Structure 1
């Protein structure tokens, strides 16, 4: 187990959505200082933003049994000064300042600072419901699939996934938009990667993993675009997300 794999689930753990998180990853986060720190920062960032927007005093989120103690974000002078202002107009601007400061502090640690927006959630549901639909174009040649997608106005890089072979592509509908879905086949089953243009994915998290029904669904940022992944199992999702976000 390594930190890159564990951090894929940091956002879900920060939100308390641990049902779909494998036990070895939960144990790693509990024992690892860096990973438990990231989870705690994400929790405190969410509370800081919510408190600033509402104009309320910042309250620290209780730690989820971390192995190491952390200094509460509420003790930072810049946060206390922001939250004490009661003007809702100022609080909205303060939330943006808090977010920028927190982002700068934890730069280099992949993961979310907030819950995915309704657009990202809906997109993940759309991808899960379309999982398993047949390819419109069948080929094991990445160049051929790239050419097919470019011909439809959806140019995309076909990234090689470990232990999987690209077998085709189709056009899927996500959030009312047509996007390219690349289909891979491997020992675990079928993995589908939908390429979401940056203009459509504005405000989405840079990384997210969750269960939609029984389907493991992930979201990672790559070269400005977002990659929406549906995998046959959790291990396959870890592997695909780690590869695509590299």
Structure 2
């Protein structure tokens, strides 16, 4: 997980929208990775941003020259301290906007990502802080991802992938990845949501699934869906 660097808050208006997107994408790709030395590959960035590898390579080179990214050939891309500051501002904007869209505008949790992507480049810091106050200073977004504080501090729950649990173990849902809106809808249809306690009753390797029970319900959940869920044990 990338370490936060509290300090003076940079102004993302100093960067292009493309630069903002790249910095946020690098931070988000590494957020739930346990290894603090981990890097994101240019291929992973291309997938996240929906652009070609050559476009990513060119942008990474430019952002590295600006002191925002650290690119190690054959190892991947990370954020410099300067880039980290900008990334955290953009992540905070995005997740507060997602929370506002769900709580006050009536969006479903599988609809908010793209809308927040568009809005995050246009809002001012003043509006973001007004939204934060309106929402009661939330610490997580609708998917359970932590919202960085105004000073850049990030408190991530002590969560593990659901797939790490063995049969008989339970956990409370702390985060559900928003990487695939269809998977979010499928989990919502099953009733799997934040703060729901899940128990793994069986692992079904031949069917590539887990048998889960929660709130009086039981179902075989495909491993692909289970991979979107993170829980706190207990």
Q: TM-score, normalised by structure 2?
A: 0.27
Larger radius of gyration: 1
**Normalising to structure 1: TM-score of the pair?**
0.26
